[in-house]
Structure 1
Amino acid sequence: MHLAVYLPLLLPVLAGVGAGPLARRLEPRSATWLLTVAGLILAASSTVVLGLLALAGLVRVPLIAALKGYSPGVIARDDPATWQAAVAGAVLLALAASATARLTVRRAGALWSAALEAACLPGRESVVVTEDRHADAYTMPGLPGRIVISHGMLDALDPAGHDIILAHERAHLDNHHYAFVTLAQIAAAANPLLRPLAASVAFTVERWADEYAARHTGDRRAVAETVARAAVAAKRTRSPPAAALGVLGRRPAPGVIPRRVAALLEPAPRSPYHLLVAVGALVAVSGVCVLEAAHDLHEFLELAHIHRR
C-alpha cells in the first residue's frame, strides 16, 4: 500500500485541531452539520483503513492463504503492508470497534431512559415546570420530547428571559441536537483523535440554539445577558446534572459560557465559503485514500490468486 493510504489515520488530527476555530467562525447550524458529517466520514475512513491493514495481515496466515487459494510466494514477496502495520491495524480496529459498541449501547440506553422519563412527566404540554429550587433548564428527547424548566431558573430570570430560555430549549428539541452530539461522540469513540471535534459539536449546538433565540427575540444582547444570568444562577444554586443533560453531553466546559456570550455580542455569524471548501477537501482526500487502499489490496489478492493456479 502506498504511504498515502495511511492519511485517513492522520487526517483526524487536522480535523481535531481545526474544529475549534471552525466552530467559532462558521454559522452554528452549518458548523454543526459540517463537523458532524465530517467526523463520521473521517471515523469511517480510518476504521476501513484499519480493517484493510488487518485483512492484509490475515492473508499472511498460511492456513487462511491455503483456504482462499492464495500463492504463499506472492504474499511473501508483494504484501502491500508490513506485518507490524497489519498487527497494529488489527489491534486498533478491535479497540475502535469495542469503544464504538460500548458508547453506542450507552447512548441508546440514555436516550431510551430519557424518552421514558419524558413520557412520564405530568401534563400533555411540551413545557414542564418543576418545583425544583435549583436553576435548571433542559430538553428531554422523546415522543414527544419535553422542555423542563425549574422554578429556580424562572425565579432567576425576568419575563423576557423566560421567553429566551424557552426559545433556546425549543431549538434543541425541534432540531434534535442530541442526535448531532451523539453521532459526534460515536465518531470520537471510533477514532479518539476526533474528540476535540465532538467537543466542538457540543458547543455549536448551544450556539445554534442561542442564534435561534436571538432571531426569535430580535435582541442579541438580551440573549447574551440571559445566557450569562442562567449560568450564574445554575452555578449559585449548584444544580445537579439532569438526566437529559447526560444525553446531550457533559456540563459546559470552562470558558464555553463566556465564548457564547461574546459571540452573541457580535454580529450574526456567516459561513466563509473557503472554510467549507477546505473541510470538504479534507474529507474528499480521506475518501480517495480509502478507495486507493482498497484498490491496492484487491489487486494484490487477485495477483496472489492468479499465481496460485
Structure 2
Amino acid sequence: MTYVSVLVVLTLALPWAGQAITGRLVDRLPPRWASWTLVGAAVLLAGGTISALVGLAHVPFLASLEQLPLTRVLEVWPAAVPLACAAGALMLVQLMLVVRRWIQHRSLLRKAWLLADEGTGEADVLVVPGADVDAFALPGYRGREGRVVVTSGMVRSLKPAECEVLLAHERAHLSRRHHLLSAVVDLAAVVHPAIRGLREALVFHLERWADEEAAAVVGDRRVAAAAIARAALAGSSSSRGAGYPLLSATSGPVPQRVRALLLPEPAAPRGGVRRAGVGALAGAVALSAVAALALAYGLHEYVEYAARRMIGASSG
C-alpha cells in the first residue's frame, strides 16, 4: 500500500503548489480579477484537502462494508487505521477552529457596532468622536445595514477631497461585499496552512480593488493616491486603541497601493493571458482534486483487494 501512502502525502502537499501558482498569477491580474481568483482557489484547495481527509477517515467504514476485519486491513497496510484516526481527529480540530474563527468574526462585528453606536452622521456614514485616526467599512449586523465608520481624528487629518476618496473607498468595500470574500478565505485558511498565504494576498487585492473604485469616483488617481498615503500616515501615528482588523483604507501594503494609483488604471487581462492564467490555476487545483479522487479510489480498491484475499484464504 505504498502508493496509497504516497497519494496521501501528495494530496495534502499539493495545496502548497496551488498557493504558489495562484500567488504568481494574481500579481498579473487587475484587483477585481485577482480577488475572485484568490477566493476561488482558497475554496477549491480547502475542498480538496477535506475530501482527502474524508477518504482516509472512511477506511474502517469501507472495510466494514466488505465485512473485512480490521486485523486483515492492518496486515496489508499497517498505517491504514492510524491514518484514518489521524484524519478524523484532524477534521474534528478543523471544525472546532472554523467554529471558533466564525465566533471571533461575529464578536468582532458586535464590538465594532458598539463603537459605531457612539457616532453620529447621515446616510451611510458615522463619525465617531475621539483622537484615534481610523476609518473602516462596517458590514451589516442583525438587520442593520452596513455603514462607513470614520473617527473625527481621521476627518481632521484629511482635506475635503481626500475625505471623499476615503468614503468612496469604504463604500466600495460595502457595495462589493468584500467582507464576505475576506471571511470565506479566512475560514478556508483554517483547513490548510498553505491557504494562509492566499488570505494575506487577498487583503492587499481587496484594498486595491476599493482604491480603483474610489479613484474612479473622484476622477483623479493622484488625489486618490495622496488620500490613501495621508490616511495611512495619520493612522500609523495614532494609538489605534480599538484595533479592529476590519476592511480599512489604511490596511495592506500602503506603498504598493499608492504606487499602483500613480500608474494608469489596470486593464482587464487579454484573452490569451486570461486563458493561460486561468488554465494554470485550474491545472493546479485540478491536480489537487484528482489526487484526492485517486486517493479515494485507491482506498476503495485496497479494501476490495483485501476482501478478495481474505475470501481466497478462507476457501483455501
TM (normalized to structure 1)?
0.83
Identify which range, 104-113 or 284-293, moves more after superposition.
Answer: 104-113
Aligned residue in 2 for 1:179: 180
Q: Distance in 2 between matches of 1:208 and 1:155?
A: 25
Aligned residue in 2 for 1:48: 51
Alignment check: 8 A CA contact 1:131 1:150 kept: yes
State which of 94, 98, 101 in structure 2 corresponds to 1:100: 98
Aligned residue in 2 for 1:238: 239
Could you report, residue by residue, the CA deviation over 1:91-130 in whole angstroms, capped at 9, with x for unpaired residues? 4334333322321222233335546765785566211122
Could you report, residue by residue, the CA deviation over 1:134-172 in whole angstroms, capped at 9, with x for unpaired residues? 221111111310101122212222221111111100011
Aligned residue in 2 for 1:133: 131
Task: Summarize the alignment of residues 104-183 of structure 1 with structure 2, pairs less than 5 Å apart.
Answer: 104-114=102-112, 122=120, 125-142=123-140, 143-183=144-184
Task: Summarize the alignment of residues 242-281 of structure 1 with structure 2, pairs less than 5 Å apart.
Answer: 242=243, 245-248=244-247, 252=251, 256-269=253-266, 270-271=268-269, 272-273=273-274, 274-281=276-283
Residue aligned with 2:131, SS: coil
How has the CA–CA distance of structure 1 residues 150 and 209 changed in structure 2, closer, same or farther, with 3 Å as cutoff?
A: same
Give the letter aligned to residue 260 of structure 2.
A
Identify which range, 280-289 or 161-170, moves more after superposition.
Answer: 280-289
TM (normalized to structure 2)?
0.81
Alignment check: 8 A CA contact 1:15 1:194 kept: no
Q: Distance in 2 between matches of 1:278 and 1:20?
A: 11
Segments of structure 2 that go 5 or more residues without pairing to the other structure are: 312-316
How has the CA–CA distance of structure 1 residues 111 and 154 changed in structure 2, closer, same or farther, with 3 Å as cutoff?
A: closer
Q: Distance in 2 between matches of 1:138 and 1:263?
A: 21
Residue aligned with 2:237, SS: helix
Residue 12 in structure 1 maps to residue 15 in structure 2: yes
Cα deviation for residue 294 of structure 1 reads: 1.9
Q: Distance in 2 between matches of 1:119 and 1:240?
A: 17
How has the CA–CA distance of structure 1 residues 80 and 300 changed in structure 2, closer, same or farther, with 3 Å as cutoff?
A: farther
Cα deviation for residue 223 of structure 1 reads: 1.1
Give the letter aligned to residue 48 of structure 1.
S
Cα deviation for residue 260 of structure 1 reads: 0.9
Could you report, residue by residue, the CA deviation over 1:259-290 in whole angstroms, capped at 9, with x for unpaired residues? 11112122223444222221121111111222
Alignment check: 8 A CA contact 1:15 1:197 kept: no
Aligned residue in 2 for 1:32: 35
Alignment check: 8 A CA contact 2:48 2:289 kept: yes
Task: Summarize the alignment of residues 222-237 of structure 1 with structure 2, pairs less than 5 Å apart.
Answer: 222-237=223-238
Q: Distance in 2 between matches of 1:238 and 1:109?
A: 22
Could you report, residue by residue, the CA deviation over 1:24-60 in whole angstroms, capped at 9, with x for unpaired residues? 322111111111121121112112212322333x46x
Residue aligned with 1:138, SS: strand
How has the CA–CA distance of structure 1 residues 307 and 108 changed in structure 2, closer, same or farther, with 3 Å as cutoff?
A: farther
Q: Distance in 2 between matches of 1:191 and 1:113?
A: 28
Q: Distance in 2 between matches of 1:135 and 1:108?
A: 24
Alignment check: 8 A CA contact 2:94 2:191 kept: yes
Residue 283 in structure 1 maps to residue 285 in structure 2: yes
Q: Structure 1 or 2: larger helix share?
A: 1
Could you report, residue by residue, the CA deviation over 1:161-198 in whole angstroms, capped at 9, with x for unpaired residues? 11111110001111111111111111111112221111
Alignment check: 8 A CA contact 2:137 2:246 kept: no
Alignment check: 8 A CA contact 1:53 1:81 kept: no
User: How large is the RMSD of aligned CA atoms in angstroms?
Assistant: 3.1
Residue aligned with 2:190, SS: helix
Residue aligned with 2:133, SS: coil
Q: Distance in 2 between matches of 1:88 and 1:304?
A: 22
Identify which range, 11-20 or 212-221, moves more after superposition.
Answer: 11-20
Q: Distance in 1 between matches of 2:121 and 2:157?
A: 24
Alignment check: 8 A CA contact 1:29 1:205 kept: yes
How has the CA–CA distance of structure 1 residues 263 and 20 changed in structure 2, closer, same or farther, with 3 Å as cutoff?
A: farther
Segments of structure 1 that go 5 or more residues without pairing to the other structure are: none
Using the aligned pairs only, state the percent identity: 34
